[in-house]
Structure 1
Amino acid sequence: MTGNPKASGRRRTTALLGLFAAILVVSIIAYPDQAFSASLQGLTVWWKYVFPALLPFLILSELLLGYGVVHALGTLLDPLMRNLLRIPGSGGWALALGATIGHPAGARAAAALRKQGLLTRTEAERLLAVSHLSSPVFIVTIVGVGFLHSARLGALLAAVHTVAALAVGLTIRLLSVRSQERETYVPGHPGQPPSGTLPAEPLTKRIITAMQDAHTKDGRAFGKLLGDAVSSSVQTLMMVGGYMIIFSVLVQIIEISRLTSIIQHAALLVTGSTSYGEAVRSAVTGLLEIHLGTYAFGAKSGLSGAFAAAAVAAVLGWGGISSHLQVRSITNDTDLGYMPFVAARLLHAAYSFVLTLAVWEPVSGWLGSAPSFAAGQPPSGTAAAYPQPVIALALLTAVILLMLLLSLGFHRNGAHRSRVKS
């Protein structure tokens, strides 16, 4: 009698994770000094850069959710989702969450839409690939100003991150254009693809209605909402800090195991240069955790200029195994595959790396003085002239306006087609 393959796979995963946890505990006990030093480094980066920069934004994000602003943005993105990415308009909410709050909010929304039968498996996996984003505020304030000491470079990385995500969505759409999963919709469910007719209500009215409905459903007064926002934001940041500390320790254990030395020797054989040691360490760190990885490439990798910025962009596109674990836990009770998500992250990293190299020369004059890629140096004049919250808000507004123009264009084209048919 053949066993359940899915259950067998879960048992193997449990055994491997248990073995990994045991090895981690033994390593910490065997090397307490190195483990403490690594924990302190992760805690320092979290407390010095991540916590003060993200706390106000996370609180405001919770307020935007409570008052329905994110839901309104999701409605705004409906035509864009249907016409550009071939995803039902309900997916606009997940994309809005990913573009404003960042991961894993987009993954949580995509999984919820799949559970409700609003999306097919192919559409949900495509939406998950597009909505798994780092927020512009994180990229500009923490990565740009905090790690790279240039708000303009942070804005450039955020723009590249968004464009690369849309390119990933278009690539997956083209690869799955002949997918036959449409029958997996629940018959008669409102999530089914539109039949070609657009809603009778104008787009503006639907946006306002979505915002009002979301706020009414939430039902919390401002004081209660603000208190819950502070509590939830601090809890989220504590979780991020925990991830950073444990993965910082993991990176140190990898160093002790000499794995990075093996990779460095391999790089020496291929390139004939010994100048890539720190870059290899930074790459291993970025593979595991996004905050530590971007910090390492910005401050300690030994790279500079276009290649350092491209490496940071690639880490942002990959997202780190720490964020992958969060997505895996969120989608574990759905039929969404993990390997398509990994492929999308690799594609996002590749697109981000190539796009950054491609635009570096044209925008180098706008960046001004060369951004600093060394830790401990004061912010450049670029960051001082344009405070990071202003840059982040301006970038987020520009992205929303661009999506608005695209959505309105698709909306008018659809209305024109409907009038021609009638």
Structure 2
Amino acid sequence: MKQKLLLFFCIYLLFFLLLHPAEALPAARDGLTLWLNVMIPALLPFLILTGILLKTGNIRKLLNPAAPLTKKLLGLSPAGTYVFLLGLLCGYPMGAKLAHDLYINQQISRREGEYLLSFSCNASPAFILSYLAGDCLKNRISGSRIMLLLLGADLICMLFFRFIVYHGHTVSSVKSTGEKKETSGQDSTGVILDVSIMNGFETITRLGGYILLFSLICACVSYYWPLSPLTGILFTVPVELTTGLHRIALSPLAWKKQYYLSMMLTAFGGLCIMAQTESVLENRLSLIPYVTSKCLNTAVILLLLVLSDII
């Protein structure tokens, strides 16, 4: 079924590129601009530096002093705490990438890795404050309030997965998977740097390809949409987060509806980020906790928005 869907979308996009280059070219340009101006400077340095920390095995040493506190409050090991902190600061899909890397490096268990997918994959504070609150919502709602609402929804998801799904048992002993690591503690500094840099560029290039394809899909669906333009906007905004927020801001919807939809889309993340997450997980960790948490997060943020308006 997946192969048939992939074949359908490939043929669909090829015809769109050949028949409507005037619409396809700006969409491809927008996707690549997003990748070049946002994702590369925001994510690539973190990918390289965290790769170095992974190869040298220093993550546990850095976070061991806080281990008792983080295990009690968050149900995380020191390495898992590192995933949570970097995922919170760097945004999509850094949390998923780190959970995958630490799992295959045998520093966290599969259960903890999938638990981390439920709450460590979110939009970064910089994206929320600058793009969502500033560019899209024109600072009509304070950035601190938006951050608190999104973090509150994420906290509720974390508690649900920790105590309902995993029954409080999120940290378990790490078993050897028999994976051969690319570097070891005896590797030279040059080898560690080379491997970390190449892995970082490989990951960021893959993510750029996903952004390009989903930008084309969004433009293609919008062009052929048979119903009213407004329903076309509502149908295509979940495809890609950044362009979806931009389309909501330019839509004729009332401002309050724009605010609600923008918050829900930010909590959901979009189908493009979902595909990026599946890509960085490389079938080592299940995508189900991530998808479930994003759907739950979207419902919770809607509930919090309604409650905040009532109060």
Instruction: Bin the TM-score by the shorter chain.
Output: 0.7 to 0.9
Task: Find the residue that maps to 1:130 and give its secondary structure.
Answer: coil
User: What's the CA shift for 1:290?
Assistant: 0.7
Instruction: Summarize deviations over 1:213-256 as a string: whole Å, max 9, x none.
Output: xxxx9969xxx9xxx7xxx79x94x7766544432321232234
Aligned to 1:344: 293
SS at match of 1:287: coil
Q: CA deviation at 1:170?
A: 0.6
SS of corresponding position for 2:118:
helix
8 Å Cα contact 2:248/2:262 also seen in 1? yes
- Is 2:277 aligned against 1:327? yes
Displacement of 1:162:
2.0
Report how far residue 174 of structure 1 moved. Answer: 2.0
TM-score normalised by the chain length of structure 2: 0.75
- State the partner residue of 2:81: 92
Cα contact 1:75–1:92 (8 A) shared by 2: no
The share of aligned pairs that are identical, in percent, is 22
> Which one-letter code corresponds to 1:326 in the other structure?
Q
- 1:62 Cα deviation (Å)? 7.0
1:148–1:298 Cα contact (<8 Å) kept? yes
Q: 1:132-143 counterparts in 2 under 5 A?
A: 132-143=121-132
The answer for unaligned runs of 5 or more in structure 1 is: 1-11, 190-216, 265-276, 363-422
- Paired residue for 1:31? 20
Partner of 2:262: 312
| Local SS of the residue matching 2:88 | helix
Tell me the amino acid that sits aligned with residue 282 of structure 1: I
Query: 1:251 corresponds to which residue?
Result: 218
Paired residues of 2:75 and 2:171 also in contact (CA < 8 A): no
Per-residue deviation, 1:131? 0.9
Aligned to 1:267: none
Check whether the contact 2:225–2:232 (CA below 8 A) recurs between aligned residues: no
Contact preservation (8 Å) 1:78, 1:90? no
Q: CA deviation at 1:300?
A: 1.9
Superposed CA RMSD: 4.1
Counterpart secondary structure, 1:288:
coil
Cα deviations by residue, 1:313-351 (Å, 9 ceiling, x for unpaired): 1111111111111111121241x2222221111111222
Q: Decide whether aligned partners of structure 1 residues 25 and 284 sit closer, same or farther in structure 2, where only a CA change above 3 A counts.
A: same
Indicate how the Cα distance of structure 1 residues 321 and 153 shifts in structure 2: closer, same or farther if over 3 A, else same.
same
Distance 1:129 1:115 in 2: 18
| TM-score, normalising length: structure 1 | 0.57
Matches of residues 144-183 of structure 1 in structure 2 within 5 Å? 144-150=133-139, 153-178=142-167
Measure how far apart 1:115 and its partner are: 2.2
The 8 Å contact of residues 110 and 128 in structure 1, kept in 2 or not, is answered as yes
- Where do 1:2-401 residues align within 5 Å? 12-39=1-28, 42=31, 46=34, 51=37, 78-79=67-68, 81-150=70-139, 153-178=142-167, 185-186=174-175, 236=204, 243-258=210-225, 261=227, 278=230, 280-300=231-251, 302-305=253-256, 307-334=257-284, 336-360=285-309
Q: How many residues align?
A: 294
> What is the rounded CA distance, in whole Å, between the counterparts of 1:341 and 1:325 in structure 2?
11
Q: Which has the larger radius of gyration?
A: 1
Q: Assess if the C-alpha contact under 8 Å between 1:121 and 1:181 holds in 2.
A: no
Aligned partner of 2:248: which letter? F
| Cα distance in 2 between the residues matched to 1:57 and 1:332 | 22
Q: State the Cα distance separating 1:155 from its structure 2 match.
A: 3.5
Deviation per CA, 1:333-389, whole angstroms, max 9, x where unpaired? 41x222222111111122222223333466xxxxxxxxxxxxxxxxxxxxxxxxxxx
Seen in structure 2, the aligned counterparts of structure 1 residues 324 and 180 have a Cα distance that, compared at 3 Å, is: same
Cα–Cα, structure 1 residues 77 and 325, in superposed 2: closer, same or farther, change >3 Å? Answer: farther
Distance across 2 between alignment mates of 1:332 and 1:239: 12
**One-letter amino acid of the structure 1 residue matched with residue 295 of structure 2:** L
In structure 2, stretches of 5+ residues that fail to align are: 178-186
- For residues 270 and 245 of structure 2, what CA distance do their matches in structure 1 show? 10
1:165·1:348 contact (CA, 8 Å) conserved in 2? Answer: yes
Change beyond 3 A, Cα 1:303–1:81: farther
Whether contact under 8 Å (2:107, 2:174) holds in the other structure is: yes
Q: Name the CA distance, whole Å, in 1 between partners of 2:254 and 2:212.
A: 25
Q: In structure 2, do the counterparts of structure 1 residues 114 and 257 end up closer, same or farther at CA, with 3 Å as the change threshold? A: same
The 1:243/1:155 distance shift into structure 2, 3 A limit, reads farther
